[in-house]
Structure 1
Amino acid sequence: MSPDPSGLLGDLDPTSDRAVFRQIADQLRDAIDRGRFREGEKLPSEAELVEHYGVSRMTVRNSFSVLQGEGLVHAQHGKGVFVRPRPAVRRLASDRFARRHREQGRSAFLVEADAAGGHPQVDSLEIKEEKADQDVSTRLGSVRRVLARRRRYLLDGRPVELATSYLPLDIARGTPIAEPNPGPGGIYARLEDLGHRLDHFEEELRARMPSPTEVKALRLATGVPVIHLVRTAFDSAGRAVEVCDTVMAADAYVLSYRLPAT
C-alpha cells in the first residue's frame, strides 16, 4: 500500500469479510463525516486511490458509487468526485407557526429561512379549484372541493421543498387566499382575518424515497430521500381549515421539536 495521497485514509483489513470497495467507501465516508473532506472539496482521484490501496479502478469506482448512492458526493465529468454541500434548514416545530410571526407579517417558511440565515424564494406557484382526493377530504371533514395552492420553495437558489395547501372552498373562494400573494403573514394570517382563529396543528411525517417527479423538481442526488409531512390546521371551533402536503429534501432539513414532559 502506497502513502496516503491525502494523509487522511487508513489501511484495508485483509481479514475482514467486508468487500474491499465497501471498506474504501467506509473510510471515505468517515473522513467526510469528520470534516476531513469538507463540502465542495475534491476527494482523492481514482488514480491516487488505486495506487494507495493497490486495487483496480473498478473497485474505486464501486466505492464512489456507494457514496453517490448515499448522496454524500457527486461526480463532475473530467474534474473528479466532490463532497456534496448539505445545507440545513432548521424547522422549529414549536415556534414556526406562532401567532407573533403572522402578526409581524412573516410566513412559516420565512421564519425557517431566517433561522438558517438563507435567502428564501418561491419560484413556482399554481392556484386552482379542484376535487379533493379521499385523504384530503377525510382530513377536512368530508369536504368535496378545495382550493389548492402548489408551490416550490428555494433557499439560496436551491429547491428544498414542495408544498400544496388544500383549503375548503367555502372558506377560501373569493378571498386573498386565492390570490398569488395572499399578503403579509401568508394564508394563516388570512384565515385568522376571516374569523378562523388557529388553535392547533397536527403533523404526520415519514421518510421515503422520492418519485422521479420529486427528484427532478428538488434536483435530488441519487440516494437522497425525502421527508413527507402532512399538516392539518384546526381553528378554535375545532374545524380543519387547511391540509398542507409537503415534500422536503431530507439533506436540507433538520427537524427540531420541543416536547412537553407532562
Structure 2
Amino acid sequence: MVTRPAPPLPYAIADDLRARITTGRLKPDERLPSEAQLAAHYRVSTPTLRNALSVLQGEGLIEKIHGKGNFVRRRLHQVTYVGGGHMAIDRDAARVTLRVTVRTTKIWARGDLASLLKVPLHSPLTELRCVGYEGDSPHSLIRFYVPRDLAPANTSAELPCWGSVEASLAERRPALADTEEKVGARLPTRGEAAALRISTALAILAITRVSTDITGRVAEAAHLVLPGDRANALFTTHRMTAERLAQR
C-alpha cells in the first residue's frame, strides 16, 4: 500500500477552510476568525496561515478588507465588457444594487500618458479614478485621463452607474469620432488588487481605451481593470450582406 505524503501545511489549512466554505459552514460575507486565532487553531505560524489564506484569495473564495479582516466572498454576478466603455452585469438571480465611487485628481502628463493622449510632457490632465460596486463588493476599476480643459466641472463622489460617469465626461467635449481598445490579461498591481479586493495572483482583464473627438483631438484615455474570475469581453462585428449592399 502506497502512502501519499501529507500536503504542505498551507494547502492542508486551505483545504479545510475551503471545505467549510463550500459546505456552507462559513457563509458568504461572514468574517473569518482573526489571523492570530486561526494560526492558534491550526497550530502554525502567522506567515504559514497567511500563505493558506492567499491560496483561497487566489481562488476567489475569500477577500481581505483592510482594517476589517478576511471575509467569505459572496458570489458576484459576471461582468461583460461590450466595448466603448459599456459594461453589463448578469442580473439572473436577484436584484443588483450598483454604484460607482469617483475620486478626481489633477495630475501632469508623464511619459505613458503623454503618449496615449498625444500631448506634450507635463501637460495638465485630470484623472478620474472610478470603482464600480455590486452592493458593497467592488467589481471593476477604471481610471479616466482627460485634458484638464475637458474635465467635468462637477463630478459627484458617488454615481449610480457607469453611464453617469460617461455623461459627466461628455459634457465639455465635442462628440467622439473614434475609439481604439487594446485588451490583454495580466496580474494586477498591488493598488489594483487592493481596490478590487482580490489576490495579486488572480489574473485581471486589462483594457486600454483611447478616444478621439470629431476635431481629431484625443479627448480621453482610460485604463479598465476587471477581475479575471468574473469578467468577459464581448465584441460584435456587423457585416454587410449582399441584400443590404444592394439596398445602398
TM-score normalised by structure 2 residue count = 0.60
Alpha-carbon shift at residue 210 of structure 1 (Å):
2.4
Q: C-alpha separation between the residues in 2 aligned to 1:234 and 1:89?
A: 30
Q: C-alpha separation between the residues in 2 aligned to 1:125 and 1:75?
A: 23
Q: C-alpha separation between the residues in 1 aligned to 2:165 and 2:60?
A: 36
Amino acid at match of 2:131: R
Q: Which runs of 5+ in 2 are unaligned?
A: 29-42, 65-70, 240-248
Alignment CA distance shift 1:84-1:122 (3 Å): closer
Matched, 1:135 2:138: no
Counting only pairs closer than 5 Å after superposition, residues 4-15 of structure 1 correspond to structure 2 as none
The aligned residue for residue 165 of structure 1 is 144
Asked if structure 1 preserves the Cα contact closer than 8 Å seen for 2:155 and 2:168, the reply is no
The aligned residue for residue 82 of structure 2 is 93
Give 3-state SS (helix, strand or coil) of 1:237's partner: coil
Asked if structure 2 preserves the Cα contact closer than 8 Å seen for 1:145 and 1:168, the reply is yes
The aligned residue for residue 131 of structure 2 is 152
Alignment CA distance shift 1:115-1:140 (3 Å): farther
User: How much identity, in percent, do the aligned residues show?
Assistant: 21
Give 3-state SS (helix, strand or coil) of 2:193's partner: helix
Amino acid at match of 1:163: I
Counting only pairs closer than 5 Å after superposition, residues 74-223 of structure 1 correspond to structure 2 as 74=62, 84-94=73-83, 97=85, 108=86, 112-113=88-89, 117-128=95-106, 130-143=107-120, 144-170=123-149, 172=150, 177-181=152-156, 185-190=163-168, 192-194=170-172, 196-221=174-199, 223=201
Alpha-carbon shift at residue 165 of structure 1 (Å):
0.9
Asked if structure 1 preserves the Cα contact closer than 8 Å seen for 2:187 and 2:200, the reply is no
Alpha-carbon shift at residue 131 of structure 1 (Å):
0.6
Alpha-carbon shift at residue 167 of structure 1 (Å):
0.7
Q: C-alpha separation between the residues in 1 aligned to 2:6 and 2:238?
A: 46
Give the aligned CA root-mean-square deviation in angstroms.
Answer: 4.6
Amino acid at match of 1:238: G
- Deviating above 6 A after TM superposition, structure 1's stretches of 4 or more consecutive aligned residues are 18-21
Q: C-alpha separation between the residues in 1 aligned to 2:91 and 2:214?
A: 28
Deviations 1:155-188 (A, max 9, x none): 1110222222111123x25xxx131239995354
Alignment CA distance shift 1:201-1:127 (3 Å): same
Alignment CA distance shift 1:209-1:222 (3 Å): closer
Amino acid at match of 2:235: R
Q: C-alpha separation between the residues in 1 aligned to 2:63 and 2:220?
A: 42
Alpha-carbon shift at residue 232 of structure 1 (Å):
1.1
**Which of 1 and 2 has greater Rg?**
1
Q: C-alpha separation between the residues in 2 aligned to 1:123 and 1:248?
A: 16
Alignment CA distance shift 1:146-1:222 (3 Å): closer
Q: C-alpha separation between the residues in 1 aligned to 2:197 and 2:63?
A: 15
TM-score normalised by structure 1 residue count = 0.57
- Matched positions, count: 209
Deviations 1:27-62 (A, max 9, x none): 99xx9xxxx868958xxxxxxxxxxxxxxx99xx9x
Q: Which runs of 5+ in 1 are unaligned?
A: 1-12, 42-56, 77-81, 98-107
Give 3-state SS (helix, strand or coil) of 2:155's partner: coil
Asked if structure 2 preserves the Cα contact closer than 8 Å seen for 1:226 and 1:250, the reply is yes
Alpha-carbon shift at residue 134 of structure 1 (Å):
1.3
Asked if structure 2 preserves the Cα contact closer than 8 Å seen for 1:88 and 1:254, the reply is no
